[in-house]
Chains A and B, each alone.
Chain A
Amino acid sequence: MIKEYAHIAIVALILLTLPLWLNFTTATDILVFGLYAMAFNVALGFAGILSFGHAAFFGVGAYAAGLALRYFGASVWTAIFWAVLCASLVALLMGALCVKKRGVYFALLIAAFAQMFYFLALSPLRFITGGEDGLKGIEVLKLKFPVHADLGHPAALFGFIFCILIVCILVMHRFVHSPLGSLMKGLEENEPRLRACGYNTNAVKIWAFAVSGLFSGVAGALYTVNLGYVPLDSLYWLNSGTPLVMTLLGGMHTFFGPLLGAGIFIFFQDNVSVYTARWEFFVGALVVILILIFPGGILGTVKEKIAQADEGDRQGIWFWLKKLS
């Protein structure tokens, strides 16, 4: 059992070193989007559910946290709590409504529902959400529990978000290895057979989707805490593509793939977008290339190569790399 958590520890250590060779902003962004991508992958990579509406959960989480902070002077923990509650409920509801639809229908139906939230924030509710300008006016946060910290300070902010991320990773890991997690894997592999084994596969899908939404909501809350405001774009359906690309890049059938993908994506975004505004072209081209050549993503391809390698090669570092995924 210690071995299993060892690789989480290794990842944690690597993440801790990020601010040493990247700046704090990039590093913190990687943490936030890493969580978002991993949450997304719970649905896609583990349960086989594609959705283009995750921006709804992320955005609802972001706005819930933002509203709690802005209008109710809530503490950071309270804000995160509300984000989790709202995002999970939304995911549960949307999942339950759409669950009977297959694959693609489902993915885009969710996207369409997500757009309703975008619209809600843009127009009817703009007096509280700030409409197109986003939700502004959140004061610099102070952490009171369990330690005192000024979250305006980049290092403290990074540390705080890092801790939350690790907790979420631990919970997700536990979930994926639980009986329900096995059901999700079965769902992805052979849904009809799972039904024939006596499981209500619709219920499993809804569960998986709700969990995915829950953690996306946490990521959204952290996004708000990190940025200090909530941009309207966080609800835009096309931005559900961001965790998708990160997951594809890192490897969608691996646990840490999305985190790796997020790291690489954010790194390039922060460094390349300085040179060109045509950022989306690169992302789109990247997706096309990935699908055509490396559908398993980085970690997925590595896993494949390892599986194909001789027994003798499976010592040392390769073994640990395999364990990481």
Chain B
Amino acid sequence: MACSWPCAGVPSVVNSESKMFHIPPNILLMQAIIGLALGAVFVLLASGLSMIYGLMDVVNFAHGVFFMLGAYAVYQFNLTLGNFWVGVALAVLAVALLGALTEISLLRPLYKTGNLLYPLLLTFGLALALPDVVKMFYGLMPMPVNYPEGLQGSLLVGPLIVPKYRLFVIVLTFSVMFSLWLFLKKSNLGMILRATTTDKGMVDAMGINVNRVVTLGFSIGIALAALGGAVAAPMVSVEPNMGVNIVLQCFVVTVVGGLGSLGGAVVSGVIIGEVVAFTSLFAGGYADVVIYFVMAVILLVRPRGLFGELSRE
């Protein structure tokens, strides 16, 4: 059974045939960390998606594509510049800029129609078209992105095995989300962003250019997706369709957390990351689909998601 992408990079001591009761606790802990790292990527993606939805009432189908572009960008910058860290930073900036351009040129003309279907369908069109563009330049084969030096391998803390890179991803995501939270809560721009998600009319009446706020918010959301792709690049297989699979899963994470809720995206991302990681440990074949079962259960029990707002209808 081919191991789906969350398992990539896991040392071979763990395989999908392991029986539950024979696994030593330090392996379980390592899997928990892997799950957390996976959850971190989901958090980055889902919070970006949530933010865009909150701002524009549009579910960005192309979110997975920007994730994919982030991964390819880091591959390219890493290749040309030889530095992973610079590569990540540039990848995020470049893709965020692309996101801003997309929003301004393609999405903004649609707002005046008042029909929420059109922007959604447009992002769907992008989701179809852009992977092919990438295929034209990079072909179908997965691109290798190596773990940066210093983060290869694992830390051995007594009997505990802690994969270094995954720890880094967790810490990075935590810092980014914390900064985002600070930005939204404390800064002027952040408050304007939050106000725009609740009441565009009011912000407009205050003389603030709502279009620019929306573009900024969209770009932040895309930047988060790109960051997710960039940091995921060494862990997974970087190929043109990597965004397609993840966009649906990412949407599930967002819906479970509650569309429009950043806190929900974080909690839900972590939970689902862990669920997927442990499922791939005990029942490898079901890792891809367990997400949908979780979603089905949660949504039947609590339709608006964990932290979703009832009024957001």
* Residues of A in contact with B (beta carbons under 8 Å apart): 50, 97, 100-105, 108-109, 111-113, 115-116, 119, 123-124, 237-238, 241, 244, 248, 278-288, 290-292, 295
B residues within 8 A CB of A280? 128-129, 131-132
**Least distance between B290 CB and chain A CB atoms (Å):** 10
Which single member of B117, B125, B293 contacts A50 (CB below 8 Å)? B117
**Least distance between A288 CB and chain B CB atoms (Å):** 4
Q: How far is the CA of A70 from the CA of B149 in the complex (A)?
A: 55
Size class of the B contact interface (CB-based, 8 Å): 35 or more
Main secondary structure of the interface of B (DSSP, over half): helix
Given contacts A108-B255, A116-B293, contact A291 B285 (CB under 8 A): no
- Interface CB pairs A-B, < 8 A, 8: A109-B255, A112-B251, A112-B291, A113-B296, A238-B128, A284-B125, A285-B129, A291-B125
* Residues of B in contact with A (beta carbons under 8 Å apart): 1, 53, 59, 106, 109-110, 113, 115-118, 120-122, 124-133, 135-136, 244, 248, 251-252, 255, 259, 285-286, 288-289, 291-293, 295-296, 299-300, 303, 313
Main secondary structure of the interface of A (DSSP, over half): helix
Contact B289 A288 (CB under 8 A): no
Contact A112 B129 (CB under 8 A): no
Which single member of B115, B126, B255, B285 contacts A105 (CB below 8 Å)? B255
Q: How far is the CA of A270 from the CA of B143 in the complex (A)?
A: 31
**Least distance between A87 CB and chain B CB atoms (Å):** 19
Contact A295 B118 (CB under 8 A): yes
Q: How far is the CA of A280 from the CA of B135 in the complex (A)?
A: 11
B residues within 8 A CB of A287? 121-122, 124-125, 128-129
Given contacts A50-B117, A102-B313, A284-B126, contact A291 B110 (CB under 8 A): yes
**Least distance between B234 CB and chain A CB atoms (Å):** 26
B residues within 8 A CB of A124? 285
Q: How far is the CA of A287 from the CA of B129 in the complex (A)?
A: 9
Contact B248 A112 (CB under 8 A): yes
- Which of B106, B113, B132, B259 neighbours the largest number of chain A CB atoms within 10 Å of its CB? B132
